[in-house]
């Protein structure tokens, strides 16, 4: 269709689609789904070939969070039965990271629950970063510690951190519906602090919280404006005991359309399939590799993921290869911050409105049987999934 040809051409030129074009991708029918995947796949392969970057999460501090984010199993007052523990010691975190690195991961994501780190917390994480870097040559380390205060991003960078993650999660217009204890502007400020400190900015979204197509497009365009290097796309895990436990709004087809839209809007950025892929993509996970060039290996923060061995088999069976530490993820023009000049407005692109009729709404079955609370790895005596 003309829409997809236009989006491929724009993606190869790093030209921003119009809002109507992005919305039209989300509105395509299931009959057109393979065409959408094939088109977005051309853009993905142009910038990233057939490489798949593996990332591994280490939950440094689980639960005990004072924030009220509606989607989160670690939120204030949540009764979700998750693991709860305070800070892992640097050697414990390094041991946990080693399992993921042995499985092929090249980036370790160090995550801690809470509103944001104290200066003492930054010292703790800095020691952990140094330990992991000393014991694993070539590893990338991304920190995810919540809202940053002035100077903290610089201290993490000085300790050897390569990236900082802080997701926008949803559109500015609806952010107040999911969180009351901090604002959308707070999150934007932290992403900017990380970027200004020379850290690779990592920020993404959560789909499936009851948002509209317009919300999804808004948040992805906001991430484009922030010039983030990587975009984790999470699909809501509706934990029992959270306000969003009844939100089962996603089908595998819907997830693929969302990933395709993100790829067209962020053609040369690292697009990562994050939490919830096993839950919502299910047997269509291999198709998603044609859209995203990055995934998490093994388990997530508080839930279990697909077995690491199965992830590696899936990548190989789909005709992709695991990215090595010797290979650089981002295209040359994105390295060291900045993506070069891009078309930044609908008017400059000069495209026609090509919106398609909205796809017929589907009500997916709630798959509560697929939500498994993590009981292994960091914070336990049980071997991790990697």
Cβ neighbours for 92, distance < 8 A, ≥ 6 positions apart: 378
| Token pair for 265 | 């809007």
Q: Is 339 a catalytic residue?
A: no
The two structure tokens encoding residue 68: 């009220």
SS (H, E, C) the chain: CHHHHHHHHHHHCCECCCHHHHHHHHCCCHHHHHHHHHHHHHHHHHHHCCEEEEEEEEEEEECCCCCCCCCCCCCCCCCCCCCCECCCCHHHHHHHHHHHHHCCCCEEEEEECCCCCCHHHHHHHHHHHHHHHHHCCCCEEEEECCCCCCCHHHHHHHHCCCEEECCCECCHHHHHHHCCCCCHHHHHHHHHHHHHCCCEEECCEEECCCCCHHHHHHHHHHHHHHCCCEEEEEECCCCCCCCCCCCCCCCHHHHHHHHHHHHHHCCCCEEEECCCHHHHCHHHHHHHCCCCCEEECCCCCCECCCCHHHHHHHHHHCCCEECCCCCCCCCHHHCCCCCCCCECCHHHHCCCCCCCCCCCCCCCCCCHHHCCECCCCCCCCCCCCC
On whether 155 is known to bind a ligand per the annotation, the reply is: no
109 among known catalytic residues: yes
Catalytic position from the list 14, 75, 124, 272? 272
* 202 labeled binding residue: yes
Radius of gyration of the chain (CA): 19
Which is the catalytic residue, given 44, 75, 124, 142?
142
Would you call 255 a catalytic residue per the annotation?
A: no
Task: Answer yes or no: 65 catalytic.
Answer: yes
Q: Catalytic residue, from 14, 107, 187, 202: name it.
A: 202
**Does the annotation count 144 as an active-site position?**
no
Distance, CA of 133 to CA of 141 (rounded, Å): 8
Does the annotation flag 339 for ligand binding?
no
Residue of 14, 44, 69, 374 marked active site: 69
Distance, CA of 169 to CA of 175 (rounded, Å):
8
> Which of 14, 44, 72, 263 is an active site residue?
72
Residue among 276, 248, 247, 282 at smallest CA distance from 365: 248
Is residue 144 marked as binding? no
- Residue positions forming the annotated binding site for [2Fe-2S] cluster: 109, 142, 202, 272
Catalytic positions, written as ranges: 65, 69, 72, 109, 142, 202, 272
- Residue positions forming the annotated binding site for [4Fe-4S] cluster: 65, 69, 72
């Amino acid at each position: 269709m003309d829409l997809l040809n236009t989006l491929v051409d724009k993606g190869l030129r790093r030209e921003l689609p119009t809002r109507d074009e992005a919305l039209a991708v989300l509105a395509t029918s299931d009959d057109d789904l393979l065409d959408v995947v094939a088109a977005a796949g051309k853009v993905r392969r142009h910038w990233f070939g057939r490489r798949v970057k593996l990332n591994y999460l280490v939950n440094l501090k689980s639960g005990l969070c004072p924030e009220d984010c509606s989607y989160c199993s670690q939120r204030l007052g949540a009764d979700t039965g998750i693991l709860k523990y305070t800070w892992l010691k640097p050697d414990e975190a390094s041991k946990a990271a080693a399992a993921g690195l042995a499985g092929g991961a090249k980036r370790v994501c160090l995550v801690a629950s809470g509103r944001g780190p104290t200066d003492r917390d930054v010292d703790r994480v800095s020691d952990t970063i140094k330990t992991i870097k000393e014991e694993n040559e070539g590893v990338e380390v991304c920190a995810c510690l919540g809202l940053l205060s002035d100077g903290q991003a610089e201290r993490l960078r000085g300790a050897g951190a390569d990236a900082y993650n802080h997701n926008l999660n949803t559109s500015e217009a609806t952010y107040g519906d999911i969180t009351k204890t901090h604002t959308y502007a707070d999150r934007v400020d932290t992403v900017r602090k990380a970027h200004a400190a020379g850290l690779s900015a990592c920020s993404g979204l959560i789909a499936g919280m009851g948002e509209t197509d317009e919300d999804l497009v808004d948040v992805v365009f906001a991430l484009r404006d922030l010039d983030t290097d990587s975009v984790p796309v999470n699909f809501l895990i509706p934990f029992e005991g959270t306000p969003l436990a009844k939100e089962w709004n996603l089908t595998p087809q819907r997830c693929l359309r969302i990933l395709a839209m993100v790829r067209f809007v962020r053609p040369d950025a690292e697009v990562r399939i994050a939490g919830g892929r096993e839950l919502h993509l299910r047997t269509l996970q291999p198709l998603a590799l044609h859209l995203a060039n990055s995934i998490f290996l093994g388990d997530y923060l508080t839930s279990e993921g697909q077995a690491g061995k199965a992830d590696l088999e899936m990548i190989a069976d789909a005709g992709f290869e695991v990215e090595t530490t010797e290979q650089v993820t981002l295209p040359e023009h994105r390295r060291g911050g900045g993506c070069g000049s891009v078309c930044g407005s609908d008017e400059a692109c000069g495209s026609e409105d090509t919106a398609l009729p909205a796809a017929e709404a589907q009500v997916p079955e709630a798959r509560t049987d697929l939500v498994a609370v993590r009981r292994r790895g960091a914070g336990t005596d049980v071997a991790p999934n990697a």
